Chains A and B, each alone.
Chain A
Amino acid sequence: MTEEKPRIGVFVCHCGLNIAGVIDVKDLTDYARSLPDVFFAKDNRYTCADPGQDEIRKAIKENKLNRVVVAACSPRMHEPTFRKTCAEADLNPFFFEMANIREFSSWCHPSTPEEATEKAKEIVRMAVAKARLLQPLKEIEVPVTNKALVIGGGIAGINSALDLAEMGFKVYLLEKTESIGGHMAQLDKTFPTLDCSICIEGPKMVDVGRHSNIEIISYADLISVSGYVGNFKVKIKKKPRYIIADNCTGCGECRDVCPIEYPNEWDVNMGVRKAISVPFEQAVPLVYSINLDHCIECYKCVDSCGARQAINFDQEPEEIELDVGAIIVATGFDIYMPYDDPLYGYGKYDNVITALEFERLILAAGPTGGKVIRASDGKKPHSVAFIQCVGSRNLKKYEYCSGFCCMYALKNAILLKEKYKEDVEVYVLYMDMRTPFKGYEEFYRRARDLGVTFIRGRASHIIEDSQTKNLNIRAEDMTLGQPIELPAEMVVLCTAAVPKTDAGDLARILSISRDANGFFMESHPKLKPIDTPVDGIFVAGACQAPKDIPYSVSQGSGAAARAATILSKDKWKIEPIVAEVTPELCRNTRVKCGICADRCPYGSIEAIENQPAKVVTAMCHGCGTCVAECPADAIIQKHFTDEQIFAQIEEALKKNPEGKILGLLCNWCCYAGADLAGTSRFEYPPLIRPIRVMCSGRVDRDFVLEAFRRGAGMVMIGACHLPYDCHYISGNLRMKARMDALAPMLEKLGLSPHRFRVEYVSAAEGLKYAELMKEMAEKLDELGPEKIKAENAKLKPILDRMLAKKRPQKAQSSK
């Protein structure tokens, strides 16, 4: 790359009157033209419209421009548009920089046009300074392995696997237990149609088993995942079944002779299975396994298997490695077992059971042959009460609504009523009945027509009669406004759906994040509900949040389609705003450092001892956290280099620095929140000079020091809310740790505490941003320029020294 002298073109947009109505556009354009290295400046009515873009393309050609700055709206709006415009004029798209003078100036300072113009000039000057230092970047391409891994063989995973297989991709379906099927295979009927659950899922399970593109890896655990989008390396450990799968015909003769029975977990421990068995008849793959914890090694099974020779007591765990291009996580959920709830007496009272236990009771193929009976006396209950929201919608347990419990309670109530008619009273105690989807409300009506009694109110307490083992439910009937006592012979607790116990381990292996409730987090709750923050890994089904069957099936298919966007390509393109290590500067060659590898939210940095650290570019998401963390300043983030940001700081604070707030705003939350303050036309004092970084994790302490060295009145870091809002998993947490250490140091050096701020503003908090600006302006006014100048004068020699040591080239260039 040859270093040409920058020839910058600045294009100032009127945006109709949106900008020109407040800012003196002519004055601004003249000002831009006067800046060093600016060879061309022009204003036009709508830069983003075709004529405006034409003008840019023409100017690049005619004036041999090699940098373009557009002063218009937010880069979050039109940066991609103008990058494309540049590319069309054969200019590298990363030679483009945007000055946000609409959201950040004309829209939020309409009553002070002079100050708004002044602010716009400085924003343009900052953009020009950055443009001067821009480097051309090339999009990165990686090859793609056209195979997929689906983790979890429940109804969501089954659908993902089938869809991908039908599209022609090879799919590995990893299942932890002995058979695919998931929770759906345990259920009796499904709402609102009352189809038999296994009758509709069974054929799909068989399809999976038979599909030539699908390989089921059951009774196996995920050990590790490395690599990146298109190129994942997956390690799996298969647990020994003590059966040679290829030789097992699934005939069941071994089971018939086995003398040992143990509780069947798949039957919620209400039924039993043999020490050599399958968990249920419809299991796929139909391969038996031996539970050595219970087997007495009588070898009767070996005799009955005979010539088929399918039994091998010497089987060992086996590790296998797979290469895949995309991963779908569909690991499902667990059911909350309310042993720790002293008020409902689960585990203490015989006739208080969970809804999943009830499913196994009323299921014709279940342990009681479909008879609903009480554990205390084996008799049919004449009154059954369903209690909703056990654990769910409870601030002390699980804050969220589990979503499907209202519907399965209705289903179970209807099944009871249809089965036992007048012989059973059915009650449902609920907080709100939630029946929003197709056919659900009608189903609710059907339950009411059948005579199910619905009582609005939360049960506070269940008391057991020690003789009869009947139960007495204390509740409030909100409709009557009275406390009630409801006798019932059986109580069914509709308990919360909760994250799988091993969801944390899986999140760590995959480097994906979890939400406050512990479910896997989607990339964006509205627009990327199936993606995870890691490219090439998708979520489907209840592992992301509780979901019913149709929703899980749709999401399973959705995830398959998302994965196919990668698998269908030979090469995958990656945005080049990534981190890069300068090997000569890396300390890891001399001492054991590896800080960058430790702090990277994506595990995308390798720091092997005695070697310089290396960024795996395809895994890097470009947050820049490692860049700010590196003690040797050996890492650069492309397009957001230290030099570029230092240049922006310098320009921002050239005039009257003590009256200004230097803002370092993360692209996804605070910058977006500031944009929203503009779009909402919230007016605030025009004191802030904002610098955009992709993530607050990128904010180096040196940026803060440099800003104060240059006399800033205040410095504000604007980040996503803690702990889960960060677009880069944990960049904001890293920034917080860094700044928590810096703040007391600055205070000790005599800086008034209000002058250095870390603020958390979400993309929706435009009002908060505006209020914050007002409040900070007041504080700034309270402190007064004299006090600030005095504090800065005291700080300057120390900061000069601190920064000179680290960045001699910077200290010089600023003079």
Chain B
Amino acid sequence: MTAPEKNAKTTPKPTRFLLFLGCAIPYRVSSYEISTRKVLQQLGIELVEMPEYNCCGLPIDPVNHSMTLTLAARNLCLAEQQGLSIIALCPGCAGTLRKVNKKLKENKELKEEINGYLKATGLEFKGTIEAKHVLQLLVEDVGLEKIKASVKTPLTRLKVSEHAGCHVTRPADSVDFENPEDPQALKDLVEATGAEYVEYVDKLACCGAPIAGVNDRIPLQLTKEKLTHIRNAGAHAMVTVCPFCHMMFDTNQPRIERLFNETLRIPVLHYPQLLGLAMGFSPEELALKALRVDATQIVSRISGKEDAS
């Protein structure tokens, strides 16, 4: 634990949470999970494993809405049994759990319907816990002051852009976090590391991921445009907080370079990796090697040995 917090609080904020990993992170972007665990531990957040969790429900929503509600509700019920709120790293999972949690808490008839489906599993939705994305946890529960205090080496030599993605804030009515047309949280968190925040044109535009699989060129074009704007704005790196955004910007970047015959080479970090670097963790501890776009120049810039690049 670091510096004592100045604001006296009436009720202490919870520090134990269930970690909901979802599908994409364990299989494709484990570096996100590894770095998050390191950083949250340093901030005094204890993550409890969530056994037997199932799909968050989002992928089936266009086909069967009740199924989505039931799948999400089952996850929520598991958390209720442990009396802990859920933290999800994937905004899709976080958004779905949050939305369903809110819907079932507010709508008695819907709750009864879903509990009917859950009966066979011996579970019952009660509405006693919360679910949120790690970004919201950092801003609301941990707080910027505490994060700033945890920074050992401020990243003052680094210019960083970000892409927060859609599900963190949308749909605004059910996610109920911040204004999707003017999000601030990730900007504040980047600045908390001491890095210089770089604005760029089209910050709110889509990363392209939702179209991938249906069409290849359009999503990659979108990603390329965003990466170009980020490069033109003078950023050394960018951060994401979503596995799917990350796959577009990082995993697909070499492909984009080949397809459009351009050199981009913009390192794309998971936000916890950026914060971790500022906290003094080593690149290995933060799984920086797992990134497709080489991030060593960032590390050297932070440590003042950037002449290598």
Contacts and interface: CB of A to CB of B under 8 A. Distances in A.
Contacts of B109: none
A463 B181 contact: no
B159 to A, nearest CB: 15
Contacts of B181: 341-343
Interface in A457-474: 461, 463
A339 to B, nearest CB: 11
B306 interface: no
Interface string B196-232: 0000011010000000000000000000000000000
Contacts of B202: 463
B198 to A, nearest CB: 12
A341 B182 CA distance: 8
Interface string B35-72: 00000000000000000000000000000000000000
B179 A463 contact: no
A463 B201 contact: yes
A30 B230 CA distance: 91
Most chain-A CB neighbours within 10 Å: which of B179, B181, B182, B204? Answer: B181
Nearest to A341: B181
Contacts of B204: 461
Interface residues of B, number: 6
Contacts of B179: 342
A461 B182 CA distance: 12
Nearest to A463: B201
B11 to A, nearest CB: 30
A342 B182 contact: yes
A461 B204 CA distance: 10
Interface residues of A, number: 5
Please classify the interface of chain A as helix (H, G, I), strand (E, B), loop, or mixed, using the class held by over half of its residues. loop
A343 B180 CA distance: 11
Nearest to A472: B201
B55 to A, nearest CB: 32
Contacts of B182: 342
Interface string B164-182: 0000000000000001011
A391 to B, nearest CB: 14
A287 B179 CA distance: 47
Nearest to B199: A466
Contacts of A343: 181
A342 B204 CA distance: 11
B203 to A, nearest CB: 10
Interface string A444-467: 000000000000000001010000
A139 to B, nearest CB: 51
A493 to B, nearest CB: 15
Contacts of A342: 179, 181-182
Interface string A782-808: 000000000000000000000000000
A541 B62 CA distance: 49
A394 to B, nearest CB: 12
A463 B204 CA distance: 12
A474 to B, nearest CB: 9
Contacts of A461: 204
A343 B202 CA distance: 10
A154 B157 CA distance: 58
Interface string A229-263: 00000000000000000000000000000000000
Contacts of B201: 463
Nearest to B179: A342
A465 to B, nearest CB: 9
A341 B181 CA distance: 8
B47 to A, nearest CB: 34
Nearest to B201: A463
A349 to B, nearest CB: 13
Most chain-B CB neighbours within 10 Å: which of A342, A343, A463? Answer: A342
Contacts of A341: 181
A463 B201 CA distance: 7
Interface string A340-371: 01110000000000000000000000000000
A461 B205 CA distance: 10
B108 to A, nearest CB: 12
A461 B180 CA distance: 13
Contacts of A463: 201-202
B163 to A, nearest CB: 16
Nearest to B202: A463
A343 B205 CA distance: 12
A342 B201 CA distance: 13
Nearest to A464: B201
A250 to B, nearest CB: 47
Nearest to A465: B201
Interface in A584-606: none
A342 B199 CA distance: 13
A342 B183 CA distance: 10
A516 to B, nearest CB: 19
B128 to A, nearest CB: 23
B107 to A, nearest CB: 17
8 contacts: A341-B181, A342-B179, A342-B181, A342-B182, A343-B181, A461-B204, A463-B201, A463-B202
Given A342-B182, A463-B201, 6 more contacts: A341-B181, A342-B179, A342-B181, A343-B181, A461-B204, A463-B202
Interface of A: 341-343, 461, 463
Interface of B: 179, 181-182, 201-202, 204
4 A-B pairs with the lowest CB-CB distances in the bound complex, closest first: A342-B182, A342-B181, A463-B201, A343-B181
